[in-house]
Amino acid sequence: MIDQPFDYSESIRSELSVTAFVALGSNLGDSALIVSKAIRELSEKPGLKLISSSALYVSKPIDATGNDYVNAVVALECFLNPVDLLILTQEMELAYGRVRSFVNAPRTLDLDLILYGHAQVNTPWLVIPHPRWTQRAFVLKPLQSIAPHLVSDQMLIAVDDQQIELLR
């Protein structure tokens, strides 16, 4: 978790980019509006360019309590290194009022870095690929809609018992 605002614009690489996938979720407040706004804000951040965005989905909480979640996944052309992207997403969560009062607490905005190119990172504060991305329908279904090559039929079958539907 970050303690103070970070000027991530200084870490932007000028020519090299990777495709990063970020999952968004919210189950406090006007979740559809919050997720939609967060997608737009991500696309406007220095060092990020929106490649594609899934539709919004509604899912039941997993290993948590609270309201249903609104979820989406975005693909970003990313000129930031993974740590700076993590810092940027945590700053956005804080700006939306995210409070980490307990594990899996309800949240106004949750941004998870799912994939960062082909990178594999394993530190106490950042793991890429996200350790549970293949176990969550709220990641797999939206991801399948924007990057079907990343989601196999076997992955979807494994999460078939998790309720998720398009937000209408």
Is position 13 annotated as part of the catalytic site?
Answer: no
- Structure tokens, 4: 């103070």
Select which of 68, 107, 136, 153 is catalytic. Answer: 107
Exactly one of 13, 112, 136, 153 is catalytic; name it.
112
Catalytic site residue 40? no
Q: The dihedral of CA 88, 78, 9, 43: what is its sign?
A: negative
Catalytic residue among 98, 136, 153, 161: 98
- Measure the CA–CA gap between 36 and 97, rounded to whole angstroms: 16
Do 164 and 57 contact (CB within 8 A), yes or no?
yes
Instruction: Say whether 98 is catalytic.
Output: yes
Is 112 assigned a catalytic role? yes
Q: Which of 3, 63, 100, 110 is catalytic?
A: 110
Instruction: Give catalytic residues, as residue numbers.
Output: 98, 107, 110, 112
